[in-house]
């Protein structure tokens, strides 16, 4: 792999202040429409790029097709007077003075999901919110075809260029930043979507290294021998049931000027979670290919931080292991020693995420960061509490609220959750410092967060983002999210890094 070809290859994006003079082959013009009063035909959102004649033609075509213009509804029409092969109307719902960025992002995503092989997308949606449009288009057009032969390769994956029409001046950098963010999300999606047969700890580490080096990061990989020697008992314990040994990857972006902040990122990288000896039921076990979603997002985020030259230091610490049952696997009842010396009774080998994360958090703490953000597909209890689209955010009260707030602003919708003091009692062990699970069925997401809190150094502002549901879309496509890996919470973490760079 040459450096330029590492990571997801997004369509190229440019901005323009006018429609092309001549017809562009294999192109589509994406036009936002709103539904007026109930049952009236959709209206084209007023745009300096469409003259009255074009608007009348589009609206007449939509009316004849009985289109409604509801949010994310798409309708393809042919308008011969415009310099494109077809027009794709996408609904924004009811007309408003202003639209939420995520309404625009989802509309752009829904449009891109229905492009049917168009190679060039032009859009006037960008005049409403350029960043959201570009992100939505790239993410909606995302396809994962690495494991398809020509026979079944998706025929709708042809998007090569995006032209964002905007009447504002000097918007090139804005469009490029949005494209870089979407590319990072798509890179995280690619890693999640790569099956566990092909993405195991050593391979994941190599890909992280290639991505990191292409972005100018310092990369360090600890193999199983170094991990054993340095006392990473959690990573070794979880990884020892697999024939494919664990890794710990460290990726460093040095961007801080004088007084610049240092942020540690930690992501759970279980390349497949069978549960180990405490084995999971067969139904939907294949979803556990997403159990490295936190790690994928962390790798994508630190690479993005370097590409955007953020003036802070960002150090990613990423534990990678495969949780398998075998004659060499750890047993329920085993005791291991986490990196740094805390002993743990492993009552349930399926609560493996917290074991690899505790080692990584202690290691990350040695760098004395100001902030620590950790993210993981940690508990089924997260989906019970918040569902498949709402990450649970825990940690230091103030920083937790800041992370959740930024997450909502970027449309990833993290929600703050508490870590009640009394839950620590449930993690008492009769033989070791801690047990890895509580005896209670209650508040599983918070108990896992409570376990992690034990390993965060005093004085570090930290946030734990549980993405068990949100990392992987097992339902139908919606907005800019297709089936499979979602890349969540890459945009949340990047927004937090940008906020720290700007405000400390």
Task: Give the total of residues touching ligand BES (CB under 6 A).
Answer: 16
The CB-side HSE value for 460 (13 A sphere, CA atoms) comes to 25
Cα–Cα dist 208/211, whole Å:
5
Q: Is 321 in the site for ligand BES (CB under 6 A)?
A: no
Q: Is 273 in the site for Zn ion (CB under 5 A)?
A: yes
Residue 468 Cβ vs ligand BES, minimum distance, rounded to whole Å: 4
Q: Is 380 in the site for ligand BES (CB under 6 A)?
A: yes
**Piece of the chain touching ligand BES by CB under 6 A; list 36-44, 170-178, 357-365, 376-384:** 376-384
Q: Which does 161 bind (CB under 5 to 8 A by kind): ligand BES, Zn ion, Mn ion, none?
A: none
Name the nearest CA neighbour of 104 among 114, 83, 90.
90
Cα–Cα dist 308/136, whole Å:
19
Q: Which residues contact 473 (CB under 8 A, 6 or more apart)?
A: 388, 481, 482, 483, 484, 485, 486
Q: Which residue is nearest to Mn ion (CB)?
A: 350
Q: Which residues contact 403 (CB under 8 A, 6 or more apart)?
A: 373, 393, 395, 414, 463, 465, 492, 496
Give Cα separations from 23 to 30, 31, 50, 164, 349 (angstroms): 15, 17, 15, 17, 61
Q: Is 203 annotated as a binding residue?
A: no
Nearer to ligand BES, 11 or 414 (CB): 414
Q: Tell me the pairing of strands 371-376 and 343-346.
A: unpaired
Q: Which residues contact 264 (CB under 8 A, 6 or more apart)?
A: 315, 316, 317, 364, 365, 367, 369, 371, 372, 373, 460
Contact with ligand BES (CB under 6 A) among 135, 352, 374, 498: 352
> From residue 451 to residue 480, what is the string marking binding to ligand BES with x (rule CB under 6 A)?
-----------------x------------
- Options 68, 280, 453, 483, the catalytic residue: 280
Q: Which does 380 bind (CB under 5 to 8 A by kind): ligand BES, Zn ion, Mn ion, none?
A: ligand BES
Q: Is 466 in the site for Zn ion (CB under 5 A)?
A: no
Q: Which residue is nearest to Zn ion (CB)?
A: 273
**Piece of the chain touching Mn ion by CB under 5 A; list 88-96, 121-129, 273-281, 400-408:** 273-281
**Piece of the chain touching ligand BES by CB under 6 A; list 101-109, 155-163, 343-351, 409-417:** 343-351
Residue 221, preceding bond cis, omega within 30 degrees?
no
Residue 439 Cβ vs ligand BES, minimum distance, rounded to whole Å: 11
Q: Is position 105 annotated as part of the catalytic site?
A: no
Q: Is 202 annotated as a binding residue?
A: no
Q: Is 322 in the site for Zn ion (CB under 5 A)?
A: no
∠ at Cα 288 (113, 377), nearest 5°? 85
Residue 426 Cβ vs Mn ion, minimum distance, rounded to whole Å: 18
Give the pair of three-digit tokens for residue 215.
Answer: 């972005």
Q: Is 352 annotated as a binding residue?
A: yes
Nearer to Mn ion, 246 or 479 (CB): 246
Number of H helices, E strands in the chain: 13, 21
**Piece of the chain touching Zn ion by CB under 5 A; list 169-177, 179-187, 191-199, 352-360:** 352-360
Cα–Cα dist 497/399, whole Å:
12
Return the axis-axis angle of helices 172-193 and 130-140, rounded to nearest 10°. 30
Q: Is position 354 annotated as part of the catalytic site?
A: yes
Q: Is 350 annotated as a binding residue?
A: yes
Cβ density class 373-407: b for 16+ within 10 Å, e for less: bbbbbbbebbbebbeebbbbbbbbeebbebbbebb
The 8-class DSSP code of residue 111 comes to H
- Options 354, 363, 402, 491, the catalytic residue: 354
Residues that bind ligand BES in the complex, under the rule CB under 6 A: 273, 287, 291, 348, 350-353, 377-381, 437, 444, 468
Residues that bind Mn ion in the complex, under the rule CB under 5 A: 273, 350, 352
List residues with catalytic annotation. Answer: 280, 354
Which residues contribute to the annotated binding site for Mn(2+)?
268, 273, 291, 350, 352
Residues that bind Zn ion in the complex, under the rule CB under 5 A: 270, 273, 291, 353
């Amino acid at each position: 792999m040459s450096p330029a070809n590492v990571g997801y290859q997004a369509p190229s994006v440019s901005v323009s202040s006018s429609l092309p003079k001549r017809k562009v082959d294999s192109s589509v013009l994406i036009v936002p429409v709103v539904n007026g009063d109930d049952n009236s035909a959709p209206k084209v959102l007023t745009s300096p790029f469409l003259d009255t004649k074009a608007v009348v033609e589009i609206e007449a075509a939509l009316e004849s097709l009985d289109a409604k213009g509801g949010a994310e509804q798409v309708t393809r029409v042919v308008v011969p007077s415009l310099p494109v092969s077809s027009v794709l109307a996408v609904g924004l719902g009811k007309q408003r003075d202003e639209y939420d960025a995520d309404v625009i992002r989802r509309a752009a995503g829904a449009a891109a999901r229905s492009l049917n092989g168009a190679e060039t997308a032009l859009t006037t949606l960008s005049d409403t919110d350029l960043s959201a449009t570009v992100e939505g288009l790239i993410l909606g057009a995302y396809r994962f075809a690495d494991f398809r032969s020509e026979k079944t390769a998706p025929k709708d994956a042809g998007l090569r260029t995006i032209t964002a029409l905007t009447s504002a001046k000097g918007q090139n950098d804005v469009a490029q930043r949005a494209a870089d963010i979407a590319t990072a999300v798509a890179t995280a999606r690619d890693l999640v979507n790569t099956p566990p047969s092909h993405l195991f700890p050593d391979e994941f580490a190599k890909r992280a290294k290639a991505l990191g080096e292409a972005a100018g990061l310092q990369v360090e990989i600890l193999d199983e021998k170094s991990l054993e020697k340095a006392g990473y008992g959690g990573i070794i314990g979880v990884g020892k049931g697999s024939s494919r040994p664990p890794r710990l990857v460290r990726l460093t972006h040095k961007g801080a000027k004088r007084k610049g902040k240092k942020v540690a990122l930690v992501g759970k990288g279980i390349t497949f979670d069978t549960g180990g000896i405490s084995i999971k039921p067969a139904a939907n076990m294949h979803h556990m290919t997403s159990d490295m979603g936190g790690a994928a997002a962390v790798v994508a985020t630190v690479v993005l931080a370097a590409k955007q030259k953020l003036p802070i230091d960002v150090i990613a610490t990423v534990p990678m292991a495969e949780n398998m049952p075998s004659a060499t696997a750890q047993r329920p009842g085993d005791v291991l020693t986490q990196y740094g010396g805390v002993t743990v009774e492993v009552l349930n080998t399926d609560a493996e995420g917290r074991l690899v994360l505790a080692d990584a958090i202690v290691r990350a703490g040695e760098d004395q960061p100001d902030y620590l953000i950790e993210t993981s597909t940690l508990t089924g209890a997260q989906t019970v509490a918040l569902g498949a689209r709402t990450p649970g955010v825990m940690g230091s009260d103030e920083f937790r609220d800041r992370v959740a707030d930024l997450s909502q602003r970027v449309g990833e919708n993290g929600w703050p959750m508490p870590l009640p003091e009394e839950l620590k009692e449930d993690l008492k062990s009769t033989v070791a410092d801690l047990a890895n699970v509580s005896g209670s069925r209650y508040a599983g997401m918070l108990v896992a967060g409570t376990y992690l809190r034990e390993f965060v150094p005093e004085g570090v502002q930290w946030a734990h983002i549980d993405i068990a549901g949100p990392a992987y879309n097992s339902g139908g496509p919606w907005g800019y999210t297709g089936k499979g890996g979602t890349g969540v919470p890459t945009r949340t973490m990047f927004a937090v890094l940008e906020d720290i760079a700007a405000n400390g």
